[in-house]
């Protein structure tokens, strides 16, 4: 079965910090969200996840879309944090001629993000002429998670649990779009039989032998002295 390829792009990085405010930099927030999404998606069957960066490095917008296109990704997500004095979350797709499927995918992912993050303003589903959603050859979406220069939004962005919720929303959207199934969990081994129950008795081993005849001789001697004896192999 062909694996679904999801390309996740943590916006900015390296010499490009992105937006900043309230002691935060955009590049330091997009990366943990993307890494969390990768971790969540790897719990599913028949999916591959690749990030444009997994550390703090500089990449051009062209490099990001070139990587996704060369890999043959099935879906492209570019993770960003907003700025400009607003509040809330919005998602964007290309404002050109896009298919009904791309719009439907935006509807699904946007809805799942808003459900996952809870009581946050929904700024809606939008379109824009951003290079990463325009030049990617696969369906693409760019979520903007809150406003880094808004005090209340920044308080949420400083909480790792909130960043995980952002990733969880994208995960849930992709699960719905691609009908992903969780990997089977290994069956745990059966519990070992306890030879001794400390609530009832104490057990003492008095010998261990490679030769069974030696074990039997000791058992006979112990029995003759009134001890209860058994041999285990």
pLDDT band at residue 232 under the 50/70/90 scheme: confident
Average pLDDT of every residue of the chain = 92
pLDDT band at residue 201 under the 50/70/90 scheme: low
> Would you state the pLDDT for residue 57?
97
pLDDT band at residue 183 under the 50/70/90 scheme: very high
pLDDT band at residue 199 under the 50/70/90 scheme: low
Enumerate the active-site residues: 144
> Would you state the pLDDT for residue 1?
77
* DSSP labels, the chain: -PPEEEEEEE--BTTB--SEETTEEHHHHHHHHHHHHHHHHTTBSSEEEEES-SSS----HHHHHHHHHHHT-SEEEEEEEE-SS--SEEEEEESSS--HHHHHHHHHHHHHHHHHH-S--EEEEEEE--HHHHS-SS-EEEEEEEETTSHHHHHHHT-HHHHHHHHHHHHHHHHHHHT--BPPPPPPPPPPPPS--TTT---------SSHHHHHHHHHHHHHTT-------
> Would you state the pLDDT for residue 194?
55
- pLDDT one-digit tens code per residue, 80-106: 999 999 999 999 999 999 999 999 999
- pLDDT one-digit tens code per residue, 65-75: 999 999 999 99
- Asked if the model's pLDDT at residue 189 lies above 90, the reply is no
Q: Which residues belong to CATH 3.40.630.40 in the chain?
A: 4-178
- Asked if the model's pLDDT at residue 159 lies above 90, the reply is yes
* Superfamily of domain 4-178 in the CATH hierarchy: Zn-dependent exopeptidases (3.40.630.40)
């Amino acid at each position: 079965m062909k694996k679904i390829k999801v390309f996740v792009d943590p916006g900015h990085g390296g010499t490009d910090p992105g937006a900043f405010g309230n002691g935060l930099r955009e590049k330091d927030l997009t990366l943990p969200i993307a890494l969390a999404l990768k971790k969540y998606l790897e719990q599913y069957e028949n999916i591959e996840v690749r990030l444009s960066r997994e550390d703090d490095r500089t990449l051009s917008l062209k490099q990001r879309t070139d990587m996704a296109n060369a890999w043959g990704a099935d879906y492209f997500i570019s993770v960003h944090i907003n700025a400009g004095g607003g509040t809330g979350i919005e998602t964007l797709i290309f404002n050109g001629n896009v298919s009904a499927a791309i719009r439907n995918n935006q509807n699904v992912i946007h809805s799942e993000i808003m459900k996952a993050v809870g009581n946050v303003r929904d700024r809606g589903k939008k379109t824009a002429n951003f290079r990463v959603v325009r030049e990617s050859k696969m369906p693409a979406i760019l979520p903007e998670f809150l406003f880094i220069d808004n005090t209340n939004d920044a308080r949420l962005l400083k909480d790792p649990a909130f960043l995980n919720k952002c990733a969880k929303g994208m995960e849930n959207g992709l699960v719905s779009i691609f009908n992903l199934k969780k990997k089977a969990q290994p069956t745990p081994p059966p519990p070992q039989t306890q030879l001794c129950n400390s609530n009832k008795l104490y057990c003492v081993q008095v010998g261990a032998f490679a030769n069974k005849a030696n074990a039997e001789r000791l058992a006979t001697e112990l029995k003759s002295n009134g001890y209860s004896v058994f041999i285990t192999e």
